Amino acid sequence: MLPVGNGSLLIGMVRGYQELLVAGIIAKIPKFHCVQAHAVRPLVAALNGEQWSHLDALPTDASGIAVSKPPRLAEMLEVIKLTAGSAITVSEESLRVWQKRLSSSEGLFSEMTSAGAFAGLESLIESGEIEQGSNVCVPVTGSGLKEPLEQVDN
């Protein structure tokens, strides 16, 4: 479950798994699910055939994925389809909820971008796309110390 803006993390991870597959270290490449803020969702829109333009982008607290016109969009779509993954959006409220939850329950002060991946995971579990109890990797891609103080709840 990855937060996605420019797509570098997604594309790099899938390439790494492809190398492991070719080397015979793994039997298959896992599904890659991605999350974007609802305010800035070029990948999700493209994957779902939604009419969306970079001009439709709104402000988001998830600055690390606030990429309204990613140059590697076609490549991101390709690797999501290759892995039978998906891409969803999450609300600004869910970003704040998960940043606070990670801090209070796990002692991790993540940036909103990382919190978005956990919000996305929760949503995919609730929808049944990811089975509860599945092994899922959710990298914490950045510290909350990078966020402007006015974005951080007490």
In a domain, 113, yes or no: yes
Confidence bin at 145 (pLDDT 50/70/90): confident
CATH label of the domain that carries residue 129: 3.40.50.1100
In a domain, 154, yes or no: no
Domain with 142 in it:
2-149
Tell me how many domains the chain contains. Answer: 1
- Could you read off the pLDDT of 30-74 as tens digits, one per residue? 999 999 999 999 999 999 999 999 999 999 999 999 999 999 999
Residue 149 confidence (pLDDT) above 60: no
Task: Report pLDDT for 153.
Answer: 54
**Distance between CA atoms of residues 108 and 59, nearest Å:** 25
What residues have CB less than 8 Å from 79, skipping those under 6 apart?
10, 11, 14, 32, 85
Task: Report pLDDT for 144.
Answer: 84
- The reported pTM is 0.91
